Structure 1
Amino acid sequence: MAKKRPVTNLMALGVLSTVVVRDLHPYDMARALRGWGKDQDLPIKWGSLYTVVRNLARHGLLEEAASGREGRRPERTVYRITPAGRAELVDWTRELLSAVEHETPRFRAGLSVMAVLTPDEVTTLLQQRVAEVSAAITAAEEQLAAYVTEVPRLFLIEIEYDIAMLRAESTWMRSLIGELADGTLPGIEQWRQFHETGRPSDDMVELAEKSLEK
């Protein structure tokens, strides 16, 4: 089970990972997050950066390292990570790598209600998705190949993970498309009948009623 953390926004994890390297102004934190590609790994909303930084400081995870003003420019505050912030970064990372949390991808939501479409339309849509996933795999592989000679593999693991997940999704979708195409998916005849007659089969009605009894 995930722990209750003082700052729950995952953008805070990214911020802590930048200041663990050196003291930074929020503007430079944003540059680091973009440069390291963390905007692809974390749900980052750039407009929330200063709020996240202030919250981290309020909870003692960051502290002011320096503050100054040049001419008429706004005051610039540089932050450093505190011992508590370093401990939070380490503990949060351990949790993310070890704890299984239920996450609901949008694709899963679509699969859960795909029966509202005909089997033929679902097949067509899945074929379109397979093509997009294949393109995403190619793009990720090219990105990995471009970085691998300059960046240690340690800092490219998340791209490898993306590729593995996309390949697994592609393999599973191709299998489902095959079952739809050859009619071997269990319940496909009742599914077709539902769209042809506008009425669910007796088996579908019985299943729905049983679920209401739980």
Structure 2
Amino acid sequence: MAAIRPLAMVVLELLHEAPMHPYEIQQKIRERRLDRLTKVTVGSLYHAVEKLERDGLIAVVETSRAGKRPERTTYRLTDLGLDAFRSEVVTSISAVAVEHPRFAMAAQHLHTVRPEEALAGLRARVLALGGEIAAVDAAISELGAREVDPLFWIDLRYSRAMRQAELDWVERLIEQLSSDELPWPEAAHRRIEELEEDRR
């Protein structure tokens, strides 16, 4: 079976707790701020639920209507869904996947821009990372104050640790580039000048 998409994993996680209808799933996503893991819209949520049902990972428990409210369909995990969900969790935490982050690619090409441009970009990244860390800290504080079980938002602790590690690394890189501890290759300087000259 193909990897389960992030929004589908969020749906399966919530149905792992209890059968729910999509509106209830949407409320839980808001309460726990699970939209930090993937983009969620009403349309994308209903699409994810429909696909999970087509794939046999969830099934209808009942369809009901309360007063003049729209009809609501409650879903539950199937045995296939439970096995697929657990397998995806274990595979994803145990396997180190090859990822191609944009920042790593840009860092590889750092020597192709002028040192002052690189340093300006890196300093801007430091500010952005600081802002992201502050936002994560605020989310952790809010969820803690609401007494949401910490295991439900452990990904925030992971995200904060990764951003802090990146911030520390970028700040150290700025120090190295600013002090010539990590000098710009002379050949790279020459090539930048040649390309600029060709443009004139």
Give TM-score, length-normalised by structure 2. 0.85
Distance 1:69 1:156 in 2: 33
Cα deviation, 1:130-172, whole Å, max 9, x if unaligned, reads: 0121222223223323433523332332121111111110111
Contact 2:11 2:25 survives alignment (8 Å)? yes
Q: Which has the higher contact order (CA 8 A, sep 6+)?
A: 2
1:198 aligned counterpart, secondary structure: helix
CA RMSD of aligned residues (A): 2.3
Tell me how far 1:187 sits from its aligned partner: 4.5
Tell me how far 1:45 sits from its aligned partner: 5.0
Q: Pick closer, same or farther for the CA change 1:28–1:153 going to 2, 3 Å.
A: closer
Alignment of 1:121 with 2:122, yes or no, is: no
Aligned to 1:96: 92
Q: Pick closer, same or farther for the CA change 1:139–1:76 going to 2, 3 Å.
A: closer
Tell me how far 1:96 sits from its aligned partner: 1.2
Aligned to 2:30: 34
Which runs of no fewer than 5 residues in structure 2 stay unpaired? Answer: none
Which deviates more, 190-199 or 65-74?
65-74
Correspondent of 2:17 among 10, 18, 21? 21
Distance 1:17 1:190 in 2: 53
Distance 2:110 2:104 in 1: 10
Q: Pick closer, same or farther for the CA change 1:113–1:192 going to 2, 3 Å.
A: same
Aligned to 1:80: 76
Give TM-score, length-normalised by structure 1. 0.80
Q: One-letter code of the match for 2:18?
A: R
Q: One-letter code of the match for 1:152?
A: D
Aligned to 1:207: none
2:126 aligned counterpart, secondary structure: helix
Alignment of 1:166 with 2:172, yes or no, is: no
Total equivalences in the alignment = 195
Aligned to 1:208: none
Which runs of no fewer than 5 residues in structure 1 stay unpaired? Answer: 200-214
Aligned to 1:148: 144
Contact 2:61 2:74 survives alignment (8 Å)? yes
Q: Pick closer, same or farther for the CA change 1:153–1:105 going to 2, 3 Å.
A: same
Correspondent of 1:47 among 33, 40, 43? 43
Cα deviation, 1:50-100, whole Å, max 9, x if unaligned, reads: 221112112221111111345776532111111221122211111111111
Q: Pick closer, same or farther for the CA change 1:44–1:189 going to 2, 3 Å.
A: farther
Q: Pick closer, same or farther for the CA change 1:10–1:107 going to 2, 3 Å.
A: same
Contact 1:26 1:53 survives alignment (8 Å)? yes
